[in-house]
Every structure is written in C-alpha cells, then in structure tokens.
Amino acid sequence: MEDEESITAALKALSSPVRLQIMEWLRDPRAHFPPQRDGDLVEDGVCVNFITAKLGLSQPSASVHMKMLAGANLVRPKRIKQSVFYKRNEEAIRSLQEELAKRV
Amino acid sequence: MEDEESITAALKALSSPVRLQIMEWLRDPRAHFPPQRDGDLVEDGVCVNFITAKLGLSQPSASVHMKMLAGANLVRPKRIKQSVFYKRNEEAIRSLQEELAKRV
DNA sequence: ATCCTATATAATATAATTCCTATATAGGTG
DNA sequence: CACCTATATAGGAATTATATTATATAGGAT
C-alpha cells in the first residue's frame, strides 16, 4: 500500500520521455549498453556514464534524471569504486502498477 | 499499441494529485457525487459542475484539468443540454496499463 | 601529492504547470 | 429578445521542470 504522494511522484518520474526511455533501456541492459569493467550490467546495474552517453544530454542533466528516478524508488543506485550503477527496482515497479490498478 | 507520446501524456495527466483524485472519484460516481437531473452518473458520467465543487478549485481550473484528462484519452466528455459529463474511458485505461507493463 | 575519471551541486535561463480573475461562448428558460 | 446557468478561453502570476555551463567532491592511478 503506497500513499498518494509516492504514486504521483513515480508517475511524474515516468511521465518524461527521457526517463521512460531510461526505464525501458534498463529492462534489458545487455541489449542497450556495452559491457562494463567494474560492475555487471544485470547484477549491479548500468553505469550512469553510459546512460549519459546514450541519452545525448549533458552529464549533470543525466545525473538529475537518475536522481529523480531513484527518488521515486523506481531504480536503485549502487556505488562501486568511483562509479554509480543504477538498476531497476522491480518490486517497487510492480507495487506501483498494482496500486495504479486499484486507483486508476 | 500506443506510441510513446500518448503514454507520457497519460502519465503526465495522472501524475497530478488533483487529477489522480478525479480518476478515483470517477471509478464509483455514485459514492462520490449527488444524483443528477440531466444525465445518469454511471451511464453518462459526472457533470463538470459537481467535480468542480468537490475539488474546491475555481471553475476554469477544474475545466482545464478535465480537458487534460480528456486529451490523454483517460476520460470522455458527453454533452447533454448545457452540461458536460465526464466518464472514464476504461478501454484506454486498460490499454495504458498494459503498455506500461510492457515498457516500465 | 598530482592528475584523471566519475558524479554531484550551484547558478542560471527558458519553458511548462497550475492556479487565479475576467471575459467569451453555448444552451435553456421566461 | 433578455437573462441565467454551464463551460471554455485569455491573460497573468507563482511555482516547478529541464536544460545548460562552471565548479566541487570522491575515488583511483601514476
């Protein structure tokens, strides 16, 4: 059971074409990103650096987008060495969809 | 199959607490709105006038919110006499949820 | 320590959202 | 027709979102 605030935060996070695109990419990291040295694409997540490059936005913009997705609990960050890797939070995503089915 | 634009439009429409609330009310109009003279709450939809009153916003603000929901195809307007009645578009809502399950 | 790479934060500009008041339009009623 | 009710549109103010460049911080490598 989520409160309305967390639901609208998640919906707002997803209502940007840029962030929706990121979420889609993260469903199948191996299909969309090159192999990484320091973290496994699937196990650990995708390095922000690669997401930034693929987006074609500035590094700070990408950083903020990822932070918003993380703030909505849709992805989770993991720091390895100097890099941050983002991975989908499947449980929270499922819970959002359930909550959405109840309310909308 | 919906295109990304219609999905993000729908998500944006739902990512406002006000509009999410409206969508919830419209799930069970009889539980949330008084009986109407000119149109059946369930068959025809809920009169904008009642939605406006329940929201506690100005009439133009309510009008714009409803227009956004309608623009995202989440509700459908029906004009009877001088009033407009809004009803959920269950098919489009289901289709959005399916599309969301595929992408997010 | 110095340098390099990766990410975050600050400052800023522009655009979009959300609300308001005032006004216009559309449709009935007397 | 004049008038009333219901809804939409226009214009404007405050807030939030999205992007940028410049700078700060964090961690490794030389």
| pLDDT of B2 higher than 90 | no
**Tens-binned pLDDT, residue by residue, of chain A (104 aa):** 578 889 999 999 999 999 999 999 999 999 999 999 899 999 999 999 999 999 999 999 999 999 999 999 999 999 999 999 999 999 999 999 999 999 99
Q: What type of residue is A101?
A: A
CA→C1' distance for B55 and C28 (Å) = 26
In 3D space, the residue among B31, B94, B3, B88 whose CA is nearest the CA of residue A101 turns out to be B94
Chain B, 8-27: which have a CB under 8 Å from a chain A CB?
Answer: 8, 11-12, 14-17, 20-21, 23-24, 27
Mutate to test the interface with A, among B5, B14, B99 (most CBs of A within 10 A): B14
In 3D space, the residue among A73, A25, A15 whose CA is nearest the CA of residue A48 turns out to be A25
A17, A27, A100 ranked by CB distance to B97: nearest = A100
Class of domain B4-103: mainly alpha
Using CA atoms, how far residue B53 sits from A30, A99, B69, B94, in Å, is: 51, 27, 18, 28
Our CA-based measurement puts residue B91 at a distance from the nearest CA of chain A, in whole angstroms, of 12
| pLDDT tens column, B82-104 | 999 999 999 999 999 999 999 99
- Domain positions in chain B: 4-103
State the pLDDT at residue A2: 74
Residue of least CA–C1' distance to C20: B58
A91–B contact, CB cutoff 8 A: no
In 3D space, the residue among A46, A7, A11, A1 whose CA is nearest the CA of residue A25 turns out to be A46
| Contacting residues of B for A12, CB less than 8 Å apart | 12, 15
Mean pLDDT of chain B: 95
CA→C1' distance for B16 and D15 (Å) = 14
A58–B contact, CB cutoff 8 A: no
Our CA-based measurement puts residue B60 at a distance from the nearest CA of chain A, in whole angstroms, of 23
DSSP of B16-57, one letter per residue?
SHHHHHHHHHHHSHHHHS---SSS-TTTT-EEHHHHHHHHTS
